[in-house]
Structure 1
Amino acid sequence: MTISKILIAGRQVYLRRFYATTPKLIETTRDDTGIDIISMAKPPVNSINTELLSALKTSLLEAQSNRSKGVILTSSLPTIFSAGLDITEMFTNDKKKITDFWSTLQDTWLTLYSLNIPIAVAINGSSPAGGCLLAISTEYRVFVEGKHTIGLNETQLGMIAPKWFQDLYVSLLGYRQAELALLRGSLFKPEEALQIKLVDELAKDKTDAIEKCKNYILSYNNIQSTAGTITKLDMRNDLIQWMKENKEVDVNRFVEYIQLPKVQHGLKLYMEQLKRKQ
């Protein structure tokens, strides 16, 4: 064997090992009905960082382009949907890192919120802050019963829920209920979330939640897909257009706020608290 062939063979072995050991952040399967189940798989808590967001966006676009009948978003973790935005992406003085993270969040959210095929979410565990954002950006939400909670609790963390987070809340809860929940940073148990219409159904476990999500998606079998897509995008157009027109302003506002010394100090204390719990 020539030296060049040895080098090529060695590189191929290395690449196979690299891909075999690189953690997969998103797992996608397609069932026999043509529905894609997209599961976040970033232990221990599906903290939302730049890499997870990029992988999620790619998976959503692939499902859309591969003629999926619809998407069910869920988590591969047993008791957590997503613990929210990754604090380590924000606890930094690196302005470029923060900017890239927030821009990726915006882009992934736009993809999720404006997906042109039906999308439901099987919330199989805790879903605060950014996890709640992902859930409420879908069309239909099924929450597994249990002690876990869901909600935009940013104020409890010394953070501010941006306008597009707030507008989603208002669209679901109504202005007054959303205002109180955002000011208090409220987290809701499954029964409470159903009562205030933050979720559409409850399920006894993840399997049941996925089945109910499938039923929602399959309910569109007799709806002309183009008509359904246009109606969905028309109803969501105001917030979609706002984001497209205000992305830079939104990024700059977030970066300016998150870099305030008191905010960075609060993030530091929160990270120290998490370490003590581990």
Structure 2
Amino acid sequence: MLPTRLFSRVAVSGCRRLLSGSSQLVQLREQSASDGVVSIELCRKPANAMNGELAAQFNKALLQAEKSGARAVLLRSQLAGIFSAGFELTELAGSNRERLIEFYTEIQELFLNLFGTDLVVIAQIQVRFVVIAQIQGHCMAGAMALSLSSDYRLMSSNPKLLTGLNETQFGVAPPVWLVELFRFVAGNRNCERLVAAGQLIGPQAALEAGLVDELFDNEAELLKKTESTLSRYLAVSPRARADVKRMLRSNLINRLDSARQEDMNAFCDYVLDSRVQAQLGQYLDKLKAKKA
């Protein structure tokens, strides 16, 4: 069992930073050097919307964590009440092909790296990872893929919080890799039922659909369940656990990786379609009206 001191450190905001910068959107923190636990924390105000820069910083943080010899990563938000609002719609609305390619390249890289992090580590530097998403706020759209790419998902039981892929609600079909991640975790029927309708669901429904593994009521319970989860994962042979993960994920990783350019072309063509641009513009106008 992991020592209790690890989780007292997890709760402390002053953990040692491994990344620094004046325009930091992602922070990598060392939670426990001796146990190899780090956290990757989203900190882009006001809602952790995922733009190209955030994705690039996330990739950098994940790579640094791998190189540091970490064994486990905790994914979390520093912003109260929200995990992430998902893709930054201003990256899509009014964009051009060059900007979309730059944005989407970082997004593709982020999720292939995160979903396949054990496979990469096994092949290159012999470090094994456990990825746990701590979902303390709304989790939807692109941010949902951070959760889906994780090994284990802990979500707040607050019934006001929502999760899912809601792209179809504002006229955009989710990328194929995002749908495949959803299906990988929640199965075909739940994927078709929820993603096609762009339905956002609460914590209990997400638990029943298999989108999350456990719910927590408060910070103390979150820390307790995080301890229990880490203990189970880190108690087994790192090589055996990573080998099983590779068996389960390698087919999807290889399929998505080989289709990157096709996916890029389809994404750009779709987003730049005049009808989609009009729908995105209307949706942004509605958001601006709500804020006014």
- The TM-score with structure 1 as length reference comes to 0.89
Q: 2:155 aligns with which of 143, 155, 159?
A: 143
**Higher mean C-alpha displacement, 211-220 vs 229-238:** 211-220
1:120-147 deviation line (CA, Å, top 9, x unaligned): 1000100111111111111100001211
Q: 1:118 aligns with which of 130, 133, 150?
A: 130
The answer to whether the aligner puts 1:212 opposite 2:225 as a matched pair is yes
**Matching residue of 1:15:** none
CA gap of 1:21–1:135, structure 2 versus 1, over 3 A, is: closer
Cα distance in structure 1, aligned partners of 2:195 and 2:215: 23
Cα distance in structure 2, aligned partners of 1:55 and 1:264: 27
1:175-210 deviation line (CA, Å, top 9, x unaligned): 112111111111110111111111000011355335
**Higher mean C-alpha displacement, 22-31 vs 150-159:** 22-31
The answer to whether the aligner puts 1:182 opposite 2:182 as a matched pair is no
Paired residues of 1:119 and 1:217 also in contact (CA < 8 A)? no
**Matching residue of 2:169:** 156
How far apart are 1:34 and its partner, in Å? 2.7
Matching residue's letter, 1:71: V
Q: 1:240 aligns with which of 253, 262, 269?
A: 253
Cα distance in structure 2, aligned partners of 1:232 and 1:119: 12
Cα distance in structure 2, aligned partners of 1:229 and 1:85: 30
**Matching residue of 1:264:** 277
Identity of aligned residues (%): 29
| Aligned residue pair count | 260
Matching residue's letter, 2:229: Y
Q: Please list every run of 5 or more consecutive structure 1 residues that lacks an aligned counterpart in the other structure.
A: 1-19
Q: 1:34 aligns with which of 36, 50, 55?
A: 36
1:73-108 deviation line (CA, Å, top 9, x unaligned): 010001000000001111124211001111110001
Q: Root-mean-square deviation (CA), in Å?
A: 1.7
Paired residues of 1:72 and 1:214 also in contact (CA < 8 A)? no
How far apart are 1:21 and its partner, in Å? 8.2
**Matching residue of 1:90:** 92
Paired residues of 1:83 and 1:127 also in contact (CA < 8 A)? yes
- The TM-score with structure 2 as length reference comes to 0.85
Matching residue's letter, 1:256: D
1:22-52 deviation line (CA, Å, top 9, x unaligned): 2311122222343111110001000000000
CA gap of 1:87–1:234, structure 2 versus 1, over 3 A, is: same
Cα distance in structure 1, aligned partners of 2:107 and 2:57: 11
The answer to whether the aligner puts 1:65 opposite 2:78 as a matched pair is no
CA gap of 1:133–1:70, structure 2 versus 1, over 3 A, is: same
Note the 1:93-104 alignment, pairs <5 A: 93-104=95-106
Cα distance in structure 1, aligned partners of 2:290 and 2:165: 22
**Matching residue of 1:249:** 262
Q: Please list every run of 5 or more consecutive structure 2 residues that lacks an aligned counterpart in the other structure.
A: 1-19, 119-128
Cα distance in structure 2, aligned partners of 1:264 and 1:109: 25
The answer to whether the aligner puts 1:231 opposite 2:244 as a matched pair is yes
Q: Which runs of 4+ in 1 moved over 4 A?
A: none
CA gap of 1:207–1:265, structure 2 versus 1, over 3 A, is: farther
Paired residues of 1:140 and 1:199 also in contact (CA < 8 A)? yes
**Matching residue of 1:25:** 25
Cα distance in structure 2, aligned partners of 1:272 and 1:246: 34
Q: Secondary structure at the match of 1:53?
A: helix
Cα distance in structure 2, aligned partners of 1:221 and 1:193: 26
Paired residues of 2:96 and 2:272 also in contact (CA < 8 A)? no
CA gap of 1:274–1:236, structure 2 versus 1, over 3 A, is: same
Matching residue's letter, 1:145: S
How far apart are 1:174 and its partner, in Å? 1.9
